[in-house]
Amino acid sequence: MYTEASSNPSTTYSFYMTSNSIPSGKTVTINFWYHMYGSNMGTLRCYGHQSSTYKATIFSASGQQQSSQGAAWIKASGSYSTNSSTTNSVSFYGTTGSGYRSDMIVDSVQMKYS
């Protein structure tokens, strides 16, 4: 997932990506890599969803995370327990900052259930 912030530097944008349904009654472990370099950086979040009303924050980062464009990517991980009687999923939400220097990217997402 990549957020492009340069088309209108005075507006913030939100982007999201949601997984398919996740098996009920499991612990979900998620691993991914991300890069967030830019002086106008917004916020990146990963949520675990149980039905349409509940969400657990698995990961959250705001502001610039790397010191340069060429800096190494950061590996993140987290987990949550799914409910045994509802539809479960995982989603990423990226919200750009108010300037064009707020592109962010998520890559190599892996989910495991146990």
79-105 mean pLDDT: 84
Note the pLDDT tens digit of each residue in 42-67.
Answer: 999 999 887 766 788 999 999 999 99
With 80 as the cut, is the pLDDT of residue 86 above it? no
Please tell me the pTM assigned to this model: 0.86
DSSP β-ladder status, 104-113 and 2-3:
antiparallel
Q: Tell me how many degrees the CA angle 25-90-92 measures, rounded to the nearest 5.
A: 165
Residue 70: per-residue pLDDT: 93
Residues of the chain with pLDDT > 70, as a percent, come to: 93
The dihedral built from the CA positions of residue 84, 87, 92 and 95, taken in this order, carries a sign that is negative
Residue 9: per-residue pLDDT: 61
For residue 10, name the pLDDT band (cuts at 50, 70, 90): low
Average pLDDT, the chain: 86
d(CA 81, CA 84): 9
